[in-house]
């Protein structure tokens, strides 16, 4: 069991981790999610006693790592797959780690077999691909047959077969009653591997809940509506009608509309009343990846902007008209275009199971954050919460959606 209490790490002015408290329990795979630079690796280093917390503490089995008796036999870690001396062979790399931890030499050949590197054991790790490096790092973590395992981004650079292998390895390690703590920035991967999720952004805890709860609270339903491509005015007509009825409408890249807040039969009725033909009316479920991105949206440090290519354009002579710019795809670049609309002001940006009753989107509300209601009075489109669209809500669908995204 790993336990962090008020863990804080500051580098000068920058706070990498702020007042982080969580527990990682044995017998389960705990996913550790967050955008780049959110403090995942810093937290992992503090767990391993490599970085000293500015305040707070983190313990493994009740001990800070540096005081843990026989630490390398209790805890195994993969921090960085590239952290090997390129001139050393895979076997020698593991051998010096085994000797450092007092592990017998023959264990080295065992773990080489476990990760499938026995054929390249004598090769210098300089020539290894990132995937082979990950396997070598995982081998190093498994050396001491530890009860607590930490993996920082273990599937980076792995091929699909390798990803599946890592996924099954984590599950079987947890199945043996070990504590498995895996960081990733891929929600979709964690939805398949982890039992529990800890999500951080800008060094602060955003969520600490089971994957099951996360799925049931954050997989939002929406309807995709398509009007005849040939008649754009029909699309506008329908958008107006749906908005008036209290739905929220977002255009998609291919001209379809993404509608939330209205059940499918109601959309059909409204279209019929407005005399608009429909080419498509289908129930959909936003993927976990989208829910996760919405959750961490405010906490992303590094965000890309649209490339204007202005630096490449020639200076125009005075009076000349600039060349016509290609129209940007509707919605692209604006935060949240891919996701259902963000909830109203004052609410949490995402659903938490422990949200107190009376707070926005109290649990049990199937519409989750997308049901209008609590903000009534300020929201001009306010309507009593409509029953959710009859979307297939099984986790299998979610998983398929998530995998499609990758």
Partner 1 sequence: MAGIQVLRSEWTKIRSVSSTVWTLGLAAVVTIALGVLISALSRREFEGLGARDQIAFDPTFVSFAGMSLGQLAMIVFGVLVVSSEYSTGMIRTSLAAVPQRGTFLFGKVAVATLLAFVVGLATSFVAFSLGQAMLGEHAASIGDPGVLRAVIGGGLYMTLIAMFSMGVAAMLRGPLLSLGILMPFFFLISNILGNVSATEKIGRYLPDQAGSKIMQVVTPFGDDTPYGPWGGLGIMVLWVGAALAGGYAVIKKRDA
DSSP string, 139-174: HHHHTT--SEEEEESTTTT--HHHHHHHHHHHHHHH
The correct pick among 6, 21, 55, 80 for binding partner 1 (CB under 8 A) is 80
β-bridge partners, 347: none
Count the site residues for partner 1 by CB under 8 A: 32
Query: String of b and e for 153-164 (b: at least 16 CB within 10 Å)?
Result: bbbebbeeebbe
Q: Give whichever of 105 and 231 is closer to partner 1, judged by the CB atom.
A: 105
Q: Give whichever of 77 and 389 is closer to partner 1, judged by the CB atom.
A: 77
Report d(CA 212, CA 21) in Å as an integer. 21
Edge-first strand listing for the sheet containing 257-260: 248-251, 257-260, 221-226, 280-285
- 48 part of the interface to partner 1, by CB under 8 A: yes
Q: Which helix (H) or strand (E) holds 241?
A: helix 232-244
The window from 61-69, 205-213, 263-271, 334-342 that contacts partner 1 (CB under 8 A) reads 61-69
- 288 part of the interface to partner 1, by CB under 8 A: no
Report d(CA 155, CA 100) in Å as an integer. 26
Report d(CA 163, CA 131) in Å as an integer. 10
Place of tokens 């010096």: 96
Extract the tokens encoding 137: 């790092």
- 100 part of the interface to partner 1, by CB under 8 A: yes
Q: Give whichever of 67 and 212 is closer to partner 1, judged by the CB atom.
A: 67
The window from 41-49, 228-236, 258-266, 315-323 that contacts partner 1 (CB under 8 A) reads 41-49
- Min. distance of Cβ 16 from partner 1 in angstroms? 11
- 84 part of the interface to partner 1, by CB under 8 A: yes
- 74 part of the interface to partner 1, by CB under 8 A: no
Using CB under 8 A as the binding rule, the residues of this chain from 112 to 171 that contact partner 1 are 140
- 355 part of the interface to partner 1, by CB under 8 A: no
- Min. distance of Cβ 162 from partner 1 in angstroms? 21
The correct pick among 15, 23, 59, 101 for binding partner 1 (CB under 8 A) is 101
The correct pick among 66, 212, 400, 406 for binding partner 1 (CB under 8 A) is 66
Q: Which helix (H) or strand (E) holds 196?
A: strand 196-201
x/- mask, partner 1, residues 177-216, rule CB under 8 A, reads ----------------------------------------
What is the pairing mode between strands 257-260 and 280-285? unpaired
The correct pick among 6, 86, 232, 265 for binding partner 1 (CB under 8 A) is 86
Using CB under 8 A as the binding rule, the residues of this chain from 222 to 261 that contact partner 1 are none
Report d(CA 370, CA 219) in Å as an integer. 10
- 92 part of the interface to partner 1, by CB under 8 A: yes
The window from 77-85, 275-283, 317-325, 394-402 that contacts partner 1 (CB under 8 A) reads 77-85
DSSP string, 53-67: -SEEEEEETTB-GGG
Extract the tokens encoding 51: 């970085």
- Find, among 213, 128, 54, the residue nearest to 43 by Cα: 54
Report d(CA 225, CA 181) in Å as an integer. 41
The window from 81-89, 178-186, 254-262, 384-392 that contacts partner 1 (CB under 8 A) reads 81-89
The correct pick among 2, 68, 121, 163 for binding partner 1 (CB under 8 A) is 68
Q: Give whichever of 92 and 383 is closer to partner 1, judged by the CB atom.
A: 92
Q: Distances in Å between the alpha carbon of 358 and those of 355, 364, 368?
A: 9, 12, 13
Extract the tokens encoding 79: 């921090």
Q: Give whichever of 99 and 394 is closer to partner 1, judged by the CB atom.
A: 99
Residue 322 sits at φ, ψ, to 5 deg, of -65, 150
Extract the tokens encoding 212: 């099951």
Extract the tokens encoding 218: 């954050």
The correct pick among 26, 37, 56, 72 for binding partner 1 (CB under 8 A) is 72
- 83 part of the interface to partner 1, by CB under 8 A: yes
Q: Give whichever of 85 and 277 is closer to partner 1, judged by the CB atom.
A: 85
Binding site for partner 1 (CB under 8 A): 45, 48-52, 65-66, 68, 71-72, 75, 77, 79-80, 82-89, 92, 95-97, 99-102, 140
């Amino acid at each position: 069991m790993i336990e962090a209490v008020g863990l804080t790490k500051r580098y000068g002015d920058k706070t990498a981790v702020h007042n982080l408290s969580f527990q990682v329990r044995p017998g389960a795979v705990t996913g550790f999610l967050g955008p780049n630079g959110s403090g995942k690796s810093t937290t992992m280093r503090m767990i391993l006693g490599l970085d000293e917390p500015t305040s707070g503490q983190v313990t493994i089995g009740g001990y800070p790592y540096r005081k843990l008796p026989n630490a390398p036999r209790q805890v195994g870690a993969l921090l960085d797959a590239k952290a090997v001396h390129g001139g050393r062979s895979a076997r020698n790399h593991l051998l010096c780690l085994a000797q450092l931890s007092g592990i017998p030499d023959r264990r080295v050949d065992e773990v080489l077999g476990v990760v499938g590197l026995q054929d390249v054991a004598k090769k210098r790790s300089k020539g290894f691909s990132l995937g082979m490096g990950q396997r070598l790092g995982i081998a190093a973590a498994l050396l001491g047959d530890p009860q607590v395992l930490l993996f920082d981004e273990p599937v980076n650079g792995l091929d699909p077969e390798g990803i599946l292998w890592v996924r099954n390895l984590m599950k079987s390690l947890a199945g043996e009653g070990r504590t498995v703590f895996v960081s990733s920035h891929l929600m979709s991967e964690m939805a398949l591997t982890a039992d529990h999720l800890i999500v951080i952004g800008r060094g602060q805890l955003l969520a600490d809940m089971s994957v099951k709860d996360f799925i049931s609270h954050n997989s939002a339903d929406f309807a995709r509506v398509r009007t005849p491509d040939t008649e754009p005015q029909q699309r506008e007509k329908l958008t107006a009608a749906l908005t008036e009825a209290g739905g929220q409408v977002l255009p998609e890249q291919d001209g379809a509309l993404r509608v939330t807040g209205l059940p499918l039969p109601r959309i059909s009725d409204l279209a019929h009343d407005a005399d608009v033909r429909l080419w498509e009316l289908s129930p959909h479920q936003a993927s976990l990846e989208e829910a996760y991105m919405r959750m961490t949206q405010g906490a992303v440090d590094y965000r890309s902007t649209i490339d204007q290519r202005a630096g490449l354009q020639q200076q125009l002579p005075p009076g000349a008209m600039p060349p016509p710019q290609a129209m940007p795809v509707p919605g692209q670049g604006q935060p949240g275009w891919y996701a259902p609309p963000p909830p109203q002001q004052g609410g949490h940006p995402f659903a938490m199971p422990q949200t107190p009753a009376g707070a926005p989107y109290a649990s049990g509300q199937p519409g989750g954050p997308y049901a209008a209601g609590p903000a009534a009075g300020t929201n001009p489109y306010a309507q009593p919460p409509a029953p959710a669209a009859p979307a297939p809500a099984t986790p299998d669908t979610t998983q398929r959606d998530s995998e499609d995204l990758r």
